[in-house]
Amino acid sequence: MPVTAEHTVTVQNLLTAFEGESNANAKYTRFAVRADADGLHGAASLFRAAARAEQIHAANHARVIKQLGGEARCEIHAVEVKTTLENLHTALGGELYEVDTMYPGFLEEATAHNNTSAMRTFTFALEAEKTHARLYGEAIALLEAGKKDSWIGTAKDFFVCPVCGYTSETPEEHDRCPVCNCPWAKFEVIR
């Protein structure tokens, strides 16, 4: 089934989001290795948790692309790895772009066409990226204050919703995921 004219822009947006999430996954995976090398094992855990969440977003987007008759394919770009502080700023910048600009625009377009599957996957990603932005912001503040004895210095558990990618540093924060209602017991523990 080819993509219908009605869904052309939505599918284009889904492909852009799929590419963004796939590349964020690749980027954060490399940033985690660098954070471990810098002795910032908690920051490394955060990068790994966020990388897993981006993988969930990419898979969700891919499913909808297929539903609408498209094919989820993208290029993975070379990753520029700098210091962990710089990598955290890069990561935060990407998350803020998605939260403030990219996903709200995509969500608006999908809503205008009443495409509920696209609305759902964009909303899940938008809400999960807010949790990443918050956690990256906290890590940056701690690192800039020289507080390597805080959580950024020690490997720690993060909890990732397997459905929407919502990411938390707290075990059993809620009974259910506040974004998608998935039971908290199903959350993945990433360290």
Determine the Cα–Cα distance for residues 82 and 152; give it in Å rounded to an integer. 17
Out of 132, 135, 152, 187, point to the residue binding Fe ion (CB under 5 A).
132
- CB contact at 8 A, 21 and 52: no
Out of 164, 168, 169, 190, point to the residue binding Fe ion (CB under 5 A).
164
User: Cβ 6 to Fe ion, closest distance in Å?
Assistant: 29
Q: Strand 158-160 relative to strand 167-168: parallel, antiparallel, unpaired?
A: antiparallel
47: contact with Fe ion by CB under 5 A: no
Binding mask 70-89 for Fe ion (x = CB under 5 A): --------------------
Determine the Cα–Cα distance for residues 138 and 151; give it in Å rounded to an integer. 10
Tokens 């660098």 belong to which residue?
Answer: 34
118 three-class SS: helix
Binding site for Fe ion (CB under 5 A): 129, 132, 161, 163-164, 166, 177, 179-180, 182
